[in-house]
Amino acid sequence: MNYWRLSGFYLSYFATLGALVPYWSLYLQSLDFSVTEIGQLTAILMATKIVAPYVWGWIADHTGRRIAVVRIASLLAALAFAGVFAGTGYWWLALVMTAFSFFWNASLPQLEATTMNHLGSETRHYSRIRLWGSVGFIVTVAGLGPVLDRYGAGLLPAILLALFIAIWLSSLAVTEPAAERHAQGQESLRTVIRQPVVISLFGVCFLMQASHGPYYTFFTIYLENFGYSRTSIGQLWALGVIAEIGVFLLMPRLQPRFGSRQLLLLAAGLTTLRWLLIAVFPAYPGVIGVAQTLHAASFGLYHAVSIFLIHRLFTGTHQGRGQALYSSLSFGAGGAAGSLVSGYLWKGIGPEAMFLLAAAASFTAFVVAYRGIDADYS
């Protein structure tokens, strides 16, 4: 029962992401915003992850009521997003996006901690629950392409509001796990964060998500400029997530066999290859298709390993804030930096060079992982 309740939340949450990430830039473009303004507005979605997850994680850790936090945050996110129907000006949309994403970004880290607690000693099976999020992403990203081709990007806000409501409804079905027994004399959170392996892991996470900034913000517009239809672009987004699902299904076997360090190095290396292919061969659909299959590594493999390591390094009363810090420093700070900078790079040096710099960021993540995460995690 818990499997389907948890899976249902992931399904609805990432269905929303499948509508927001690939197509929100098209909606903003339809409102005649410049690429710089699109980059700035998209960066807001990431920037709130720097603060929001930790604030809500502190509340969850101190109250022990993670699911209550998820439910409240999900409801407030839906209510705040409804503000997009009240205006389309730059500053109004910036305010609405700040408000709804502050609440929306709070729920997932606490759901991740809840999932790992429900799994107990079977944490290697996390990916089999998380894969339903990928299914939700595929359904919306592939289904919305033809819809927006036919009816235009102006339909997107109404679809997103319905999906935000679905997230809240799914959160009502999730139950709190049994209360954990925490060891006496647990290390302080500051002591845990100061460990070299934790610093290195967060550095890798920041760089990996920063390298995804150009992809999440401009990949759809980038391919449109090379003549791809929105239907085919949606299919390419879906292809990447299908590959991600394959990795999630294999993780219970891959994790024990190869270990976290080796898998993280593989993820960073293949991510670098992905951005190079997108930068150099954008006019070749077959090559872009191959690059999209590497989403299995750049997100699927990377994320599953990172969640496992965070759960291992942040224990007891630090779990909620550990997941929150992962979200804040990677998807938040890293994603915001990548999205914001990509808006300026697009105009300054061009989109192809922008993806080359993304490759440089992910290669730096490989170096940090190689030097900073030792054999104890292999």
2-177+190-377 belongs to CATH 1.20.1250.20:
yes
User: What are 222-237's pLDDT values in tens digits?
Assistant: 999 999 988 899 889 8
Q: Side-chain half-sphere of 356: how many Cα atoms within 13 Å?
A: 9
Which band of pLDDT confidence, cut at 50, 70 and 90, is reported for residue 70? Answer: very high
For range 122-127, the mean pLDDT: 72
Instruction: Say what the pLDDT of residue 371 is.
Output: 92
Mean of pLDDT over the chain: 87
SS3 for 332?
A: helix
For range 109-119, the mean pLDDT: 81
What sign has the CA pseudo-torsion 123, 138, 14, 334? positive
Instruction: Say what the pLDDT of residue 239 is.
Output: 92
Which tops the pLDDT comparison, 3 or 86? 86
Which tops the pLDDT comparison, 133 or 181? 133
**What is the token pair recorded at 186?**
């647990």
Which tops the pLDDT comparison, 54 or 260? 260
User: What are 132-166's pLDDT values in tens digits?
Assistant: 988 998 899 888 888 988 888 899 999 999 999 99
User: What are 270-281's pLDDT values in tens digits?
Assistant: 999 999 999 999
User: What are 262-271's pLDDT values in tens digits?
Assistant: 999 999 999 9
Q: What is the DSSP string of 65-116?
A: -HHHHHHHHHHHHHHHHGGGGG---HHHHHHHHHHHHHHHHHHHHHHHHHHH
Instruction: Say what the pLDDT of residue 45 is.
Output: 81
Closest CA to 11 of 83, 113, 111, 88: 111
Which tops the pLDDT comparison, 49 or 180? 49
Distance (Å, whole) CA 80 – CA 351: 33
User: What are 295-354's pLDDT values in tens digits?
Assistant: 999 999 998 899 889 888 887 777 777 877 887 888 778 888 888 888 888 888 888 999
Which band of pLDDT confidence, cut at 50, 70 and 90, is reported for residue 124? Answer: low
Distance (Å, whole) CA 221 – CA 231: 13
Report how many helices (DSSP H) and strands (DSSP E) the chain contains, helices first.
16, 0
- Residue 113, pLDDT > 90, answer no
Which band of pLDDT confidence, cut at 50, 70 and 90, is reported for residue 185? Answer: low
Which band of pLDDT confidence, cut at 50, 70 and 90, is reported for residue 179? Answer: low
User: What are 25-49's pLDDT values in tens digits?
Assistant: 889 999 999 988 988 888 788 778 7
